């Protein structure tokens, strides 16, 4: 799949009927397969939505019933008008008029009810379909491998999940119903025109291609301008999203004026692009209104002549005019609805691309079972690896071979960029090695069930990831259906229970987005509690480099020690305390293991480790943690 950035979703369009709204058209991407397609084929991605719509059979049936009822009621109004004009005004008496107006009042009530019913059913279908679609797309996206997220911007994916589905919601709901209603009305009105006066209907029908042809041609140029406006808007929104998420950094660097100016410029460009597209649209609207009104005036002109010459009654002319107005307005709305439908088809196509994306890493069809009693052994055999996005650069890991025995603690040490985090990424099977293999409990991880494998590991990342939610949700995150007791015990073990209980609502306290209401040490202890609860035999610990105050540091250190008890631990170590406690140290440089041993043997050897230890651990490290 091409990176999502290249197929940026169109923002949701709010619109008011019955203006002509080419903005709602899909972006005309030069690389898009939609370009140059026949009009009907452009709608074909909407077929993907069928299964979702069909699941709502009862709602669809309700919508159709009310849709038909509303259309029939609308189409019968002009007949009543003709009878009132022809009979009521020419001596039929007030009783006749009363009957007809009473009937008209009933028709109005039926029309109102049918319209309300149609609105309810149709909008509900749209909402339901989009909720199902969002759920499916999100569940699918979550399964995609990290390689996918390396290639695509998360903001773009979220935008597909929200903006594109919103566009589909309006298409499946309001737009589809408008399209159906107007199609029925148009066909009905044309048929009734032909029935009312075949001669006059020729004039109107002859005008139709004259109206549609130029509208389609005009629409194309408007669409290109709208696309430009949408792109500028997407740029502005993307920048705003980044700046808001990093508001503290913006303020810390007193960069508010720079950020505001940059957004302001993007907003102005979006305005200018939108204005250009509105100018084109204004011409288009003027053109359409003139042609439609002119053809009605022409009908009235010819019809008036016939009424004067006595070949047509005034009521028939009135009836015909009503149908002509119905036909013209439904045609106008259809052209607009068409734009919305093609926009929704574009959105459906982008979502289909996302749904078609297969996870690169997945369980084999017949996985080899991992031993029922987990041992916690890890073995890298001649593993080399290059990131898929790494191009022709040197491999990130080269011929890496090492073993970690059950219960052992091994520290990974090395300069920045040496490949330490990559070792973790391969062990979690976020990527597969280019050559070589990795064994966990004696099973090649490529042959094991992916969830089974990952369940044997608990990861404590350097930057503790905390979600907006309660403390309980955050600790319980790693274990489906974890009980309240287990969560609280995990918090005790991780030395987190104290500060959690001191919070206003204890474990039910909501912690803000990314845990902004917590201190660094508290966030880390929550992440440790999460790993404790997971109770996995293998612990992957990426030690935090950020400085904590001495007290927090001691608490975090203690929490980690309790977590490591009885588990195999691979730790990316930044603290001397951790390194001294490790059974073994692997020194990585440029993706290779260059030294291996204990702190003492490695210092005595006087190689890379000794230099790192001298530079980093003697000066920068904080033995206070002990």
Interface residue list for ligand ATP (CB under 6 A): 150, 387, 389-390, 396, 414, 416-422
Minimum CB distance to ligand ATP smaller for 413 or for 532: 413
Indicate the helix (H) or strand (E) that contains 382.
strand 378-385
To ligand ATP, the closest distance from the beta carbon of 613 in angstroms equals 16
Yes or no: say if 529 and 491 are a contact pair by the CB < 8 Å rule: yes
Closest CA to 317 of 325, 327, 307: 307
Minimum CB distance to ligand ATP smaller for 118 or for 429: 429
Yes or no: say if 145 and 425 are a contact pair by the CB < 8 Å rule: no
Minimum CB distance to ligand ATP smaller for 94 or for 393: 393
Minimum CB distance to ligand ATP smaller for 416 or for 619: 416
Token readout for 390 is 């790494």
CA distance 91 to 89: 6
To ligand ATP, the closest distance from the beta carbon of 603 in angstroms equals 21
To ligand ATP, the closest distance from the beta carbon of 546 in angstroms equals 13
CA distance 521 to 548: 6
CA distance 477 to 505: 19
Q: What is the DSSP letter of 11?
A: P
Could you write out the DSSP letters of every residue in 402-465? EEE-TT-EEEEE-STTSSHHHHHHHHTTSS--SEEEEEETTEETTTS-HHHHHHTEEEE-SS--
Yes or no: say if 60 and 124 are a contact pair by the CB < 8 Å rule: no
To ligand ATP, the closest distance from the beta carbon of 609 in angstroms equals 14
To ligand ATP, the closest distance from the beta carbon of 570 in angstroms equals 12
Minimum CB distance to ligand ATP smaller for 139 or for 392: 392
Minimum CB distance to ligand ATP smaller for 20 or for 418: 418
Closest CA to 178 of 13, 62, 293, 338: 338
Q: Which residues have a Cβ under 8 Å from the Cβ of 477 and sit 6 or more positions away?
A: 467, 530
Yes or no: say if 314 and 128 are a contact pair by the CB < 8 Å rule: no
Minimum CB distance to ligand ATP smaller for 420 or for 446: 420
Yes or no: say if 86 and 316 are a contact pair by the CB < 8 Å rule: yes
Q: At what angle do helices 314-356 and 93-143 cross, to 10 degrees?
A: 10
Separation in Å, CA 150 to CA 141, 143, 283, 451: 13, 14, 45, 21
To ligand ATP, the closest distance from the beta carbon of 420 in angstroms equals 4
To ligand ATP, the closest distance from the beta carbon of 607 in angstroms equals 17
Minimum CB distance to ligand ATP smaller for 212 or for 465: 465
To ligand ATP, the closest distance from the beta carbon of 578 in angstroms equals 14
To ligand ATP, the closest distance from the beta carbon of 573 in angstroms equals 10
Minimum CB distance to ligand ATP smaller for 330 or for 396: 396
Token readout for 110 is 């039926």
């Amino acid at each position: 799949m091409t990176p999502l950035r290249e197929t940026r979703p169109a923002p949701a369009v709010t619109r008011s009927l019955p203006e002509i709204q080419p903005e709602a058209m899909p972006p005309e991407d030069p690389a898009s397969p939609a370009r140059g397609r026949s009009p009907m084929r452009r709608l074909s991605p909407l077929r993907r939505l069928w299964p979702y719509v069909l699941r709502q059979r009862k709602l669809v049936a309700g919508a159709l019933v009310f849709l038909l009822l509303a259309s029939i009621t609308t189409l019968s109004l002009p007949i009543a008008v003709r009878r009132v004009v022809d009979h009521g005004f020419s001596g039929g008496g007030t009783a006749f008029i009363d009957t007809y107006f009473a009937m008209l009042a009933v028709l109005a009530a039926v029309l109102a009810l049918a319209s309300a019913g149609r609105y309810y059913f149709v909008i509900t279908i749209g909402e339901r379909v989009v909720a199902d679609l969002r759920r499916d797309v999100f569940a699918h996206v979550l399964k995609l491998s990290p390689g996918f997220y390396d290639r695509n911007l998360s903001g773009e994916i979220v935008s597909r999940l929200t903006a594109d589905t919103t566009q589909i919601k309006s298409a499946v709901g309001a737009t589809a119903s408008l399209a159906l209603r107007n199609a029925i009305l148009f066909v009905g009105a044309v048929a009734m025109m032909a029935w009312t006066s075949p001669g006059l209907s020729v004039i109107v029908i002859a005008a139709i291609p004259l109206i549609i042809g130029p509208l389609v041609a005009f629409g194309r140029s408007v669409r290109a301008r709208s696309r430009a406006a949408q792109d500028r808007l997407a740029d502005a929104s993307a920048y705003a999203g980044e700046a808001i998420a990093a508001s503290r950094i913006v303020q810390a660097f007193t960069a508010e004026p720079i950020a505001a100016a940059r957004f302001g410029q993007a907003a102005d460009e979006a305005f200018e692009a939108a204005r250009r597209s509105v100018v084109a649209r204004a011409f288009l609207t003027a053109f359409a209104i003139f042609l439609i009104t002119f053809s009605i005036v022409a009908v009235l002109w010819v019809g008036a002549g016939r009424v004067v010459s006595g070949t047509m009654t005034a009521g028939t002319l009135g009836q015909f005019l009503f149908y002509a107005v119905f036909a013209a307005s439904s045609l106008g709305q259809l052209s607009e609805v068409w734009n919305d439908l093609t926009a929704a088809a574009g959105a459906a196509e982008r979502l289909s691309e996302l749904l078609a994306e297969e996870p690169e890493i997945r369980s084999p069809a017949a996985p080899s079972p991992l031993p029922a009693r987990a041992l916690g052994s890890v073995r890298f055999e001649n593993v080399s690896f290059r990131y898929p996005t790494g191009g022709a650069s040197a491999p990130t890991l080269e011929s890496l071979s090492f073993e970690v025995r059950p219960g052992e603690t091994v520290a990974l040490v090395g300069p920045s960029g040496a490949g330490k985090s990559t070792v973790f990424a391969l062990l979690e099977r976020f990527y597969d090695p280019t050559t070589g293999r990795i064994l966990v409990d004696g099973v090649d991880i490529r042959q094991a069930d992916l969830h089974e494998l990952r369940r044997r590991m608990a990861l404590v990342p350097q930057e503790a990831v905390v979600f907006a939610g309660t403390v309980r949700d955050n600790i319980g995150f790693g274990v489906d259906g974890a009980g309240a007791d287990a969560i609280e015990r995990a918090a005790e073990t991780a030395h987190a229970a104290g500060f959690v209980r001191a919070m206003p609502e204890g474990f039910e306290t909501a912690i803000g987005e990314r845990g902004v209401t917590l201190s660094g040490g508290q966030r880390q202890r929550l992440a440790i509690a999460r790993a404790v609860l997971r109770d996995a035999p293998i612990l992957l610990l990426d030690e935090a480099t950020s400085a904590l105050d001495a007290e927090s540091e001691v608490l975090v250190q203690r929490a980690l020690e309790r977590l490591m008890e009885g588990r195999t631990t691979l730790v990316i170590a930044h603290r001397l305390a951790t390194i001294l406690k490790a059974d073994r140290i692997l020194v990585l440089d440029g993706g290779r293991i260059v030294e291996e041993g204990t702190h003492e043997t490695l210092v005595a050897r006087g190689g890379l480790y000794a230099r790192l230890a001298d530079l980093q651990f003697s000066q920068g490290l904080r033995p206070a943690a002990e």
